[in-house]
Structure 1
């Protein structure tokens, strides 16, 4: 499978080079990279050579699609560009793995737009997935802390590099994906947002088929790596630890320390396997649509104190 990587540079949060590495390990061929400028595209392509990847650099999506004719696109560019690239990829019948948030800012009639995009994908038998990584290691959390049974409380600590209201679309998709994967589809109520621009607390109720879970998400701006991360249900919390020298990831909780697989690699592997096997990815249509609309709800109620437009 030929893959073009959009947003291949390594900035503060850039995952492009790591995604390319894992694509190659999964058997895909990263044949093209796209960034906003010719110089950065060449630098990104050069950087991928460290992983044995020879990719052509582009700074124009039309030229890339015409010259390279990829079978899949990975969209790892800033979120404001996602919608245009999603439309271009689907229009060319190309499979897509898109970084979270899937689309942001949320446009008018967001639900209608999402339905339209996925309807096109289904008619063309295309895989569309979102790179929201943490559901892929939920089983490791369950191994340490047990599987939640109608939990009353969910807590999460995230450390975005941005500050202010930009923290919400940057970080909340992680929390919403974990909630969706653990508890099933939900509805958001009783949203509150408090704190300073560099340290905010987002609280909301997640109503699901089994009951209501009160969620408290702490967002603390952090620039230094590795950035603190942890989550859990009903006080049974795990914290992520990273052995940078050996690039090993661990969960520490319940008095134990457990080695876990890199969730980014698992997300990329799932996308490649979904395209190969023509199956729904773990983070597929229903997951993406539901969590995207919940993100819109939290943002509108927390930041602007209003509901989103009625869903169609």
Structure 2
């Protein structure tokens, strides 16, 4: 073999060795999945048909839970609420009247009548005692004694009757059946008032949760049917990540796994947690532009970002997702 061929052979052997060393020593490419930010928007509309009189928010506003969103014409509901309140007040007064005693003047009159009757009885009893002692000695006739006894019994009977009358005056004026019926009527009036309050409150919609106003879908002056959305609200807790995991790697993903999230312009350190894995495979969606995963079967996996980081992500934004080992920082 000529020296030239020997040199070429040695060079080829060295090149092949270097290539083999590079292949064996290089680190495997990191596992990265493609995905995008999605969200469940809350479409808030009226519960009853009516005229939209005002919208309190604009697109892009951040609102707290309970913040006013929009108003409808409430003239009819306000009038109905006032009527129900008056009816409930009237029913309560009627019940109190049936459950309460007689008027103060009637009670005082009954007490005075009883006191007068007791005084008459006491006098009749004293007369009777005097005549019962005098009649046997001949100082009084037996006829007078018998008359005193009758007067005493009559006075005592009148006292008993006036005591019963006083007790009746102090007792509830209504019979038990009337009181029970009026209690039921008062309860029905309170229920009607509660319904009227609810119907009035529905004319003034408030935010069910804190979030961002994604869109305003109606304007004052429009007559809206029940359920037609006026405001689209995006609470941070409704933001999630849709990612696509190759079929061969599905066994490595489990609900509850932590994942790292990255996107253009996003702050580092974003994390999420897998909360859903699709039971069916699908082809790579066209919006995932990756030569490595194109035209392969993938599974849709859903991950929720941390609640304190969710607001940093925008629906529709592409993200890359990397699995985090258990205990990883």
Shorter-chain TM-score category?
Answer: under 0.3
TM-score (norm 2): 0.20
Give the number of the structure whose residues are more often helix, by fraction.
Answer: 2
TM-score (norm 1): 0.21
Max Rg structure: 2
Which structure is higher in RCO with an 8 Å CA cutoff and minimum separation 6? 2
